[in-house]
Amino acid sequence: MKIDIIDYESCSAAGVNISALRASLRQHKSGLIKNNLPGSAIDTWVGVVGEIAEVNDLGQWQSRNNALAALGYAQGTIRHTVTNLINQYGAARIGLIMGSSTSSIDRTEEAYTKLNQDHTLSEEFIQPNVHNPHAPALFAAHLTGIKGPSLTINTACSSSAKVFATGARWLATGIVDAVLVGGVDTLCLSVLHGFNSLQLLSANPCKPFDQHRDGINLGEASGFAVLQRAGENDNGRGIRLAGYGESSDAYHMSHPHPEGLGARLSMTQALSRAGLTPRDIDYINLHGTSSRANDLIEGKLISELFPDSVRCSSTKAWMGHTLGAAGITEAIVAMDTLSTNVIPGSKNLETLDEALNFSIKAADETKVCQHVMTNSFGFGGNNCTLLFSRAE
């Protein structure tokens, strides 16, 4: 079953929409700033979407996470595309799959700081659809008017990559006629301090795969894409979901398998499903968090599996590691190279880790790509690799 991507949009600290993101990538202008999260004194850098503050009219749906989802959905032509599909097929024939790791825990944190004197929730925070792991899809259904099957996937950092794989299966089995997939995660104290307790945060702007990298920076983002069976539309972007791979290491709660067994499996599955070889791939957007262990394991796998002709980069130095939204954010960066013919460089890379040897550069490259890949590897060994190709 051939699956087309007929629209996509991204919203992060690197750009509130895809046009702004493209400009930031070309100018090598990062959206990372020194940590200014209220209540946190951690010395690190974060990717904050300042425009979220303008979305404060969501009523019973109010949360920072939902505000970022609404902000992202308002960009570009995503809303128009979904509305047209609903008019064409009916709201019940459109599916909805969201990825997240925090859902709206930001709102729950705030609620606990403003409890009534009897330690009950104050009126404004009685929001059962917000204090809910399924909050992203519940809100997206409310926002879009989609009435088909909906799902929220939480597999840590691979969450919003796996939405593409699930969406493809829904389309292949005929459950729906189109699928809106998305991801959203926002900065909150639980996550920032949680990663700090794991000693993973850097006090410097992150340097994925660099010899002197010393940790990650967190960020927030939302992203959406619309999937449809190939041949059922005439307004596609010329981009096809050619393959995907999913695996689960179950090796450790937060550390990847030392030999990257699950990551290897997700990449080889994606290639097999697409009927392609490693040599066919033009560009890989790496998971590349800038942690010592993750970068080393992923980098060694890339050098083992792919020839030097395959160009690689990590783009987390632009917007930070956006956790549950990282999958779709970086999938959009990867697939957008099929439209722009520009492969982004790996920002802040100065000296490649001496233990690694693969094709990664700090500078951009102009190239007409045919097949591109993106990796998303989450805590607990939840891995997903996506492969996009030119539709023609």
Catalytic residues: 157, 287, 321
Separation between Cα atoms, residue 374 and residue 320, nearest integer Å: 16
**Single-letter residue type at 181:** V
- Which one, of 236, 208, 181, lies nearest residue 318 by Cα? 208
Separation between Cα atoms, residue 237 and residue 388, nearest integer Å: 12
| Sequence-ordered strand ranges (E) for the chain | 3-12, 32-34, 45-47, 94-99, 150-153, 178-185, 218-219, 221-229, 239-248, 283-285, 311-313, 342-343, 365-366, 371-378, 382-390
The residue written with tokens 């805590």 in the block is 379
- Which one, of 314, 381, 380, lies nearest residue 349 by Cα? 314
**Single-letter residue type at 87:** N
Other C-beta atoms closer than 10 Å to the C-beta of 249 total 21
Q: Is 118 exposed, middle or buried (0-12, 13-18, 19+ CB in 10 A)?
A: exposed
Strands 3-12 and 221-229: antiparallel
Separation between Cα atoms, residue 163 and residue 31, nearest integer Å: 26
Rg over CA atoms, the chain: 20
Residue 384 backbone dihedrals phi, psi, to 5 degrees? -150, 135
Separation between Cα atoms, residue 230 and residue 1, nearest integer Å: 8
